[in-house]
Structure formats: structure tokens, C-alpha cells
Amino acid sequence: MESYCLSVRVTRMILQKMLLILSLLLLVLDDLPRGGATSTGTDDPAFVGYNCPVDGYSYSAGSPFEENLKDALSTHLVANASRLAFSNFTTGEGVDQVYAMYYCRGDVGLQTCHDCVDSAATKILDVCKLLKQGIVWYEECTLRYANYSIISFDTQDLNRYFPRHNNTPVMGDYLNQYQPIFDSTMRSLIDQAANNDSLTPRGFATTSVRLSSSQTLRGMVQCVPFITGTSCQRCLTAALRLMDLWTTTMEFLPICLVGFELYGLQPSAPPPSSSTLPVRFKVLIPLLSVVVILLLLCGFWFWKRHPSKGNKHPPPGKQQDDPFIHDSKENEPSIEDNLEANERGRQHGLAQFTYSEVEDMTSGFREKIGEGGFAVVYHGCLKDGSKEVAVKVFSKTEAPKQFSTEIEVLGRISHKNLVSLVGYCEEGTNLALIYEFMAMGDLKALLSEYSDSITWRKRVEIAIDTAQGLDYLHHGCSPPIVHRDVKPANILLNKEFRAKVADFGFSKIFPAEYVSNLQTRVVGTLGYLDPQYNLTGQVHEKGDVYSFGVVLLELITGKTAIVNRVMNLGQWVRSVLERGDIASILDQNLRHGVDDNYLTVWKTVELAVRCIQLEIADRPTMTQIVTELKECLNMMNTESSSSAKDSLEMMSAAISSSTMSPTPR
């Protein structure tokens, strides 16, 4: 008993000393500079990124366009920024006309606004040198110029955006359980910014919402104040859909931005950013964290040394609650979940494997042949040695949804151009799918490493195989299936170089009458995403058509979907077509091997361009694509070299006199 009392006195004395030290530190910190969330103008503007579309043409040094641009930026925009939070200006005539604008974030002061626009004007002349279009984004402001009017939302803006990344998995750590609150909060802000003319400044809306006792969400949206409400609504909706909530906290488009923050303060308190957090809080927050941890450790130590009598001897197999021990089985699937999944697999006639069998067939996961965002793929062999397989082992925490979707899709379909599922494993959090093995790997690796060995005929055959697989999903399945992630990495080839579509983790199954009305969160891969799907979230089979069109262009050009930081493959092809330089589109590895098949190259280019039209109605169906590609294959070696080249020259001349790409047939 005496020992117990001594421990109590010592613990109380330690706590009193720690509280005294903390009080003294608070008094000292109170004299430190306070700072604040509103910039004082003493910090440099925080540069985010830029976009300089090369398809917007260029100007020469010393030209009237350059003079007009410098006049618009320095004489007008920078000068206005000291008294206006936004401004636009137009100067010059004809081909030398310049449209320029800026807007500052709604929660910064005019001095900060001026400093930001001044920095942006200097930066944009450097990074977009001699180009007739440019955008630079800072956290405090956006500045843009072009050779056309820029005060409305353009669907091409979907290709001109810049995300601000966060190194932590925001969605996974915080927002999963609060998804409905997040969605409704951001939609409400978008509606306010687009439709409430009384906002100051116009087009800027922000709010804070308590998610839990320790987490608060702050959302912010902003449009250029001088655009219409409709343009504002479309831009903000597109920006929100472009956000990858796992890694992105802000999305910048040319005329709008969307952002959010999560922080542990009261909803009414302004969320301090990392760049403007008050000095005393920068010191105090880590200090408080250390003090709290020490207090908890003291309490834990005291509790462990002197447990209450009632809990002194817990029953066998039952440990006392421990605030420092996390139950690792908390997120594991229940027995009922596993039984349901196993029953689903049996209904589809799939073989079920144990986890030990998966280990055996992969020789202890020895040979990795692929890796994605949710899984790692290993080479394996069935126990009897009769068949090679590919084993996709899923992440224990991030991929149950993709696992279930693939079983549901692949268990109900069968086609020569779709990868077949042999079986599956589902034991607790151990998830794996076993597929037929595709010896030649994926099309992405093939194009990047062995492009010079893939003939034009073989490329067309690969395109036909892929199109037939997608056509079966769209029109051969009931209900139909939309893949939603068509790209070269998901097109696999067997030892005969026949292509099969794979990876159905993002696929959607639904009745045909609902296809055009179903809205979902946007998934897929940048460079292959349908802009209309990005804008509206509406799933449609023509979204797969758009993605296939990009893949077809990759087969033709040998280039990747994103040509450079400011241009995607579709934009590059259109710019080449406008110059009438069709020959430059073809992969240089094919230019001496096409022989008499130039006309089939042209027909395939034309088909690909139709696939990536912005309007869904202008795109062909997968059935039409299969038919036209087979026509190209049948045409090979039937045209004479001279007549085909003559046709190519005539088509080049026709395109050079037009303003767009080939006219759809």
C-alpha cells in the first residue's frame, strides 16, 4: 500500500511539473508573431504549374502579337491587380489580337493579388515563350492569355488542367465514411458559385463542415467572375470529376478551381494552410503533441502497474481493452461475406483455390510479371502441370471492390478476345484471381520495347481483336458491360499474338436502357478518358469507343496517349492533319514497311479520329469499328502502290484546306 501511495505522489508531481512547463511555454509563444491565414504580401506567391498548348500556334520575337501581349500583361493586368481581384483585357486586331485575364483567389487581399499577378506575368512569358496560348496557376491567382476569346468554358479546357497533389491518401484515410457529406458539400458550393450573384467576390464560395469530433472539411470553389453561371457550373463540375481524391486536394482549370482541406479545428475557424500557418501554432502544435503523448504514456504506465481489482485477472482468451492495440481483424470480411463470395464463384462455374494452393502454383510468388494500383501479378502453373496461369494477388486493404467486380464480370462472359478466368481464392483478406496466361504480355510493353518488330498488318489484327472483345461486351452481353479502362496495358497477347481485353475491375454491368442515365464517380486512366464522361460522369459505351480510338492512334503512331506535358495524342494528330502532313502520323518504324497499304493507313487514321470526337453521337459503335477494320485488313495488298500514294496526296491536299480532321464517312 505504501508503494502504491508513493507511485501516486510521484505521478502527480510529474504531471504538475509538465503542466507548469506547458503554461510557461504558452506565455512565451503568445509573444511570437501571430501571422494568419490571410497573406500579408510578404511571402512569395506559391507557384503551382502551367500549361502552354502548342496547338495554339506560335508568334515570332518582336512581332505585333508579342507587343500586344506584353502591353496587356504589364500595362493593364498587373496595374489593375493592385485595386481589382479580377480583370480581363483585349488588345490588337486580326491574327495579332490578344485576350488576357487574371483572377485572384477570393480569400486573399489586394496586395497579395498584385504580387501574384506580377509574378505570373513574368513567369508566363518565360514558360510559354513565343506561344500564342498560355496559363499559369499560383495558389493565390490564375493568369491566362490566348489568341481567341477565353471568357467561357471550352471542352478543350478538360485537357488543360493542373492538380495540386497531397502526399497522403486523402480519400482512403479520411473521406471514405464521409463520402455523402463530401459530395453534397461540394455540389452545394458549385451551385452557389454558379447561381448566387450576391457572393463577394462573385463566383467564389467556401464553407466548413464538421465531419466528426476531430475532423472538419473545408471546401472551396471559384470561377472567373465574368463568365456565365452555366459556364461556371460546367467548369466546376468538370474540375471536381477530374480530381483524384486519393492524392489531390485542388484541381485548377483555366477559368475555375476546386479544392478542399481536412483539419482538426472548429468549423468556424479558418483552415490554416501550410504556407501561412501562424508561427506560434507551428511551434505549439508539435509541442502539444509531445506533451499529450507523454501524459498518455504516464497514464498507461500507471494503469499497467496498478490495474483495478475487478480486471486483475481477465478470463482466458479474453484480453483487456488496450487503447494502443488496433484490432487487425476489424476490416476483414465476415464469414457470411466469404460464403456469399464463394457461392457467387460456384454459380459461375469457377474453380476455388486455397491460399496455400495459390502459393504452390506461384512457387511462393517467385516470378512477378506485372503490377498495378490494386494488385501484383505472378506467373504460375496449375498443380497437375497442365496449364500456365497468371495469378493476380490483390492488396489486402484497397481492392475488394475490384476483386468482386472481376469475378462478377468474367464469371458470366466468354469470348475469344477476352481473357478467361480459371478460378479464384478468397480467404479472409487474401484475395487472388487466376487467369489464363498470356505469353507475350501487354500491348503497352510491346509498343514501347518491340515497336520495330510489329508489322502494320499485325497492328490492324490487334486492333480488330480488341474491338471484337469490346463489341461483345457492348452488344453480345445481356445486360451490356462497359469496360471503363481500355488502354494498352489492359490488352494482352498470347503466343500467337492474338489480343484479348483484360482487367475488368472498373467495369459496369447494367440494362441497356440505363446506360445513358447512369452517373458514377469517374474512374479510368488519364489520356484515355472520354472528355464527356469526365464532364458529366455519365457511363456510356461510347466512352470505351473514345478510349479505343486513343489505343488505335497509339498503334498507328507509336506514340503514347500523353505526348508531352501540354498535349495529348489526339491533339497532336489533329495538329498534324491540319497541316496536311499525314505521312508524319505513321510510326517511323512502319514507314518503309507499309508498302502498298497506304490507303489502309489513312482509313484507320480516319476511323481513330472519329472515335475521339468530342460529341458522343459523332463516334461510331464498336460494331461499326470491327466492320471497318476488317475492310482495311481485306484491302491490304489489293491496291497498287502508286494509286494508293496518289490517294494519299489528294487526301492531304483536302485536309490542308480544311480546318479540322477528316470528314466522317
- The partner residues of 391 in beta bridges, in order of sequence, read 378, 434
| Three-state SS at 145 | strand
| Residue 392 marked as a ligand binder | yes
Total Cβ atoms within 10 A of residue 644:
21
CA end-to-end span of the chain:
96
Question: Quick check: 118 and 104 in contact, CB under 8 A?
Answer: no
Total Cβ atoms within 10 A of residue 388:
14
**What does the H/E/C string look like for 312-329?**
CCCCCCCCCCCCCCCCCC
Size (the chain), residues: 665
For the stretch 78-106, what's the b/e string if a residue is b when 16 or more beta carbons lie within 10 angstroms of its beta carbon? Answer: bebbeebbbbbbbbbeeebbbbbbbbbbb
For the stretch 41-72, what's the b/e string if a residue is b when 16 or more beta carbons lie within 10 angstroms of its beta carbon? Answer: eeeebbbbebbbbbbbeebeeeebbbebbebb
Phi, psi (degrees; rounded to nearest 5) at 270: -70, 140
Q: Which of 591, 559, 416 is nearest to 496 (CA)?
A: 416
| Three-state SS at 562 | strand
Question: What grid cell was written down for 459?
Answer: 497492328
Total Cβ atoms within 10 A of residue 238:
24
Total Cβ atoms within 10 A of residue 37:
15
- State how far the alpha carbon of 176 is from the alpha carbons of 129, 180, 358, in Å: 43, 9, 31
From the list 485, 503, 544, 587, the catalytic residue is 485
Residue recorded with cell 506560434: 280
Strands 421-427 and 351-352: parallel
Residue recorded with cell 483572377: 103
Question: Quick check: 555 and 462 in contact, CB under 8 A?
Answer: yes
Residue 594 C-alpha from the chain's centroid? 37
Running DSSP on this structure, what letter comes out for residue 131?
Answer: B
Q: Which of 74, 68, 53 is nearest to 121 (CA)?
A: 74
Residues 629, 635: Cα–Cα separation, whole Å: 10
Question: Quick check: 375 and 393 in contact, CB under 8 A?
Answer: yes
Residue recorded with cell 468554358: 153
Residues 88, 416: Cα–Cα separation, whole Å: 57
Question: Quick check: 472 and 504 in contact, CB under 8 A?
Answer: no
Q: Which long-range contacts (CB under 8 A, 24 or more apart) does 2-5 make?
A: 4/306
- 485 catalytic? Reply is yes
- The partner residues of 414 in beta bridges, in order of sequence, read none
Q: Which of 635, 427, 534 is nearest to 159 (CA)?
A: 534
CA triple 188-192-193, angle to 5 deg: 120
Tell me which residues are annotated as active site.
Answer: 485
Provide the annotated binding site.
Answer: 392
